[in-house]
Amino acid sequence: MNRETVLELNHIGVQFGNRKVLDDIHVQVKAGEFIGLIGPNGAGKTTLLRVILGLLSPTKGSLQISGKPVLHGNRAVGYVPQKIHLDPNTPLRARDLVGLGLDGHRFGIPLPSRKRRQQIDEVLSAVDALSFADAPVGRLSGGEQQRLLIAQALLTNPRILLLDEPLSNLDIRSAYEVVRLVSRIGREKGIAVIMVAHDMNPLLSSMDKVLYLAKGHAVMGEVENVIQSDVLSELYGYEVEVLRVRGRVLVVGGEETDLDVLDLVEGSHCNGGDVMIQ
Average pLDDT of adjacent 10-residue blocks, the chain of 278 residues: 85 93 94 91 90 93 90 84 79 90 54 81 94 93 92 93 91 90 95 88 85 89 86 82 63 51 39 37
Question: What was the pLDDT predicted at 26?
Answer: 94
- The residues spanned by each domain of the chain are 5-235
Q: What whole-number distance in Å separates Cα of residue 30 and Cα of residue 8?
A: 9
Question: What was the pLDDT predicted at 60?
Answer: 95
3's torsion region: left (phi>0), alpha (psi -120 to 50) or beta?
beta
Q: pTM for the full model?
A: 0.82
Q: Which residues contact 215 (CB under 8 A, 6 or more apart)?
A: 43, 235, 236, 237
Amino acid at 189: K
Q: What whole-number distance in Å separates Cα of residue 145 and Cα of residue 85?
A: 10
- Fold of the domain built from segment(s) 5-235: Rossmann fold (3.40.50)
Buried b (16+ CB within 10 A) or exposed e, 211-250: bbbbbbbbbbeebeebbbeebbbebbeeebebeeeeebbe
Question: What was the pLDDT predicted at 227?
Answer: 78
